Structure 1
Amino acid sequence: MLDRAGLDILEAASGEEALEMAANRELVLVLVEVRLPDISGYEICRRLREERGDDLPIIFVSGDRVESFDRVAGLLVGADDYLAKPVAPDELVARVRRQLQRAPAAAKNSLPGLTPRERQILDLLAAGLGPVEIGNELSISPKTVATHVEHIYAKLGVHTRAQAVASAFRLALVD
């Protein structure tokens, strides 16, 4: 469901695999199960906070009966949100987007220098439009849209549309 919202999704089969992914990739958000086969989501959160600080949003998800003390424990180890399954798809997307919009102060101070046209195109990309639709909307050719998209990717330091949209939400460049 998150991939349909324009977000790149990586899945890990274990806590150790998740930590390895986090060490080797530039993640913008972590959505982690509380109970995993090898280590707990709490331990993953604790380690990520030690290594990455508070800039990486972390959301816990639990299929178990969630009590108030579970949520408190999650927040105390550094989680930004805590969801109990089943989670409605629109609620999950809304909570993920809210956390992605929580850009750290450092990132806000170093926003990429997008032109007004690039910001328009990024907004339309985030809304799910393709190059032809964006071109029609802005009365420019799809080739011109592609050139702008290349510039957006370079300025955001990303390689895919999903990464650009995720970065835009994280940096609060789009609503």
Structure 2
Amino acid sequence: MLPSQLYRLPSLQHLDVSHNLISSLNNEIKNLRVLQYVNVEGNQLEGLPVGILSLSLSELRLGGNYTHPVLWTLNSVNSPPSLLHTAAHALALIQPEQRYSTLPPAARLVLSRASVCECCGGPWFGPGLKLIRPIYGLFGLSSVPILFLSCSASCYSRFRKQSHPLTQPLHTG
């Protein structure tokens, strides 16, 4: 993993972290708005984070990673969410935020740590469920595997079944 300070360099234009045994990139890569060139060749990446979709890269080098479509199913194997994360997700969906004050402090702490689901935009607790989807024609490549994290089993299932516009091959001409 790269140091978190890297994602706070607003003027970074060129990132070459090739051949470093990196297994993931942080979604905070989206903060590197002027980034033009990324070389992550020869690492152990399964896919790129959703945050990369916010960038306007002129070149992306991705070869030599674990990103081949044959590996997508294997790399999307998930453990079931913990009972705590499942309960927090259910509670966040039924309990309006303004009523959190009636909950015990430990429950409020868990609920305060919610992230936003990359698939449905709802509340997300815990590590999430991984799903790799290709984005066609991104950064001049035929397809780029993007690693989405969903908030729940039902969200994962819906997202997996939907025909997302970004996952359709781009037709030219």
Q: TM-score range by the shorter chain?
A: 0.3 to 0.5
Using structure 1 for the length normalisation, give the TM-score. Answer: 0.35
Using structure 2 for the length normalisation, give the TM-score. Answer: 0.35
The structure carrying a bigger helix percent of its residues is 1
**Relative contact order, higher structure (CA 8 A, sep 6+):** 1
The structure carrying a bigger strand percent of its residues is 2
